[in-house]
Amino acid sequence: MKAKRDRPAFWRSIAFRIQSWYATALALTLAGMMVGFYHVEREHRIDALDVELSSLMHSLLPAVEPRHEPPPPDAHHRPAPPPDGGFGPPPGDGLRPPPPFGWHEQEPDEARDGDAQHALSSADGEPFWWVMWDRHGEIIEQWGGDRPPDIRWNGGKIDLPYQTLGGYRVMFFRGPHNTRAAAGKSLGAVQEQLRSYAFRLAGWGIALFVLGVLFGWLIMRWGLRPVHRIAADATRIAAGDRAHRIDTLSCAREIHELGMVLNDSFDVLQREIVRRERFTSDASHELRTPLSVVLGQLQRLISKPRTAEETHEIASQAHAAALRMRALIEQMMALARLDEASPTDLAQLDLAKVARHAAQELDSMIAEHESVLSSHLSSAMVLGDEAQLQRLLINLLSNAVVHTPRGSQLELATGCDEEGPWARVADNGPAIPPEHLTNLFERFYQVDSARSGGGCGLGLAICKKTAERHGGNLSVESVPGKGTTFTLRLPRGG
């Protein structure tokens, strides 16, 4: 239940963030498309209206009847050509200009009005209107609906032929003899059609957005299935199935590396758990033996009256078992400290000096065992903890003394080569069987042979861990007839 309470809020999930970005991008894309469609439709309808206005203008000009007489002919003057874009009289014979475009013989009023009304009618119910000014700004003709007040003579200037003014679409036209014409139609029907089209676009846009978000959510769920499988596998491992691993073969390429890293982490964790469980079991077993000796001797002592000699013998045996327990506990505490962190009391030191002090610590033990120690100590500067490195060499030397016959030859050497500083402890005693070499540095591991000396099997494990904590390595080589050699290699100091 606690895991559920501690889960982040849903809006902090990767799926929600990706879906939010996707929905935003989809909404902006659809909105842009809808605006584009609306703009295209609007331009299309305006263009269609402009075509209607152009057709209207060309159909009404022939129906226009002049309100005054045409200008008198002048035999010595030809009318100037009209401005660009206008309609002027075509060249005549120089005596009398031909009738200009839009000027023709008068038709009956009924026919002219009928043609105009027919031209000004509209299929959508919005009537066209038409107005024409002479060169002085006086209205010559005006048909159709009411002309909007914004449509004026404006000095006869035409800025643009098609304009939208006051809710009307208007076409301006330069007629003959500096006349100006304008035809237009209300945009009410077009705006209503565009409004209806906009509502339809909005409906389609919303529907596409909902479908797109739903489709994106389904793709997201499908894409995150490998992540959910990894989570399920990790939960299964956390529940106690430590042998289970993530199936990286079925993972996508992007998830495969994550699965491999997690599997490696689970393997390391599994090895650590097994090692700790074995350490706890071995420690319990090692402590049980001396504790049983102490309890047995005490029980023997209190079972009946003893002589002074018997009491001293029993007390000596209990004392030896207690010392063994203390040594075991101290080694276990040393291993625990090494497991917790790297050494912090580091300093520049000479490995030869450390080895010399370690040999001096064991002078009495070596002499008692009648062993012969040869020292070949060359300077080798390292960065390390002097106490831990000295204990490492003491453990190696004491093992060489204890696990070899009396009078054996021992060697302690230090130096530096192209690979870095090194220290070596060698003896000429019995070789270690090859099948034991791979497990020699494991905790509580003991070789049941002539090399056993009654230890608890933690000394070499402490040496190995100390070397690793200093960034180095401890290796062993054992050859029958030549003896065993332990080699410590450390990084260069400074």
Can you give the pTM of this predicted structure? 0.47
Rounded-to-integer distance, Cα 145 and Cα 189, Å: 15
Which residues touch 169 (CB under 8 Å, ≥6 apart)? Answer: 46, 49, 50, 53, 162, 163, 184, 185, 187, 190
pLDDT value of position 487: 94
CA-nearest of 289, 311, 316 to 300 is 311
Contacts of 370 (CB under 8 A, 6+ apart): 406, 407
CB-CB contact of 120 with 174 (8 Å): no
Contacts of residue 15, defined as CB under 8 A and 6 or more positions apart, other chains included, come to 220, 221, 224
Provide the strand spans (E) within 342-482.
347-350, 372-377, 381-384, 409-417, 420-427, 473-479
86 close to 57: Cβ distance less than 8 angstroms: no
Instruction: Output helix, strand, coil percentages for the chain, rounded to the nearest 5.
Output: 55, 15, 30
Query: 143 forms bridges with which residues in the sheet?
Result: 130
Alpha carbon 397 to chain centroid, angstroms: 54
So what's the pLDDT on residue 459? 80
Domains of the chain, each with CATH number or no CATH? 1-68+77-223 (no CATH), 248-335 (1.10.287.130), 345-489 (3.30.565.10)
3-state secondary structure at position 167: coil
**pLDDT less than 70: residues of the chain:** 1-11, 61-125, 145-146, 282, 285-286, 289, 337-344, 448-456, 494
pLDDT at res. 17: 85
pLDDT at 133: 87
Q: pLDDT tens digit string along 37-62?
A: 999 999 999 999 899 888 888 877 65
309, 290, 310: which is closest to 300 by C-alpha?
310
Alpha helix (H) residue ranges in 133-252: 188-223, 225-238
pLDDT digits (tens, 9 = 90+) for 368-427: 889 999 999 999 999 888 888 998 999 899 889 988 898 899 999 999 998 899 999 999
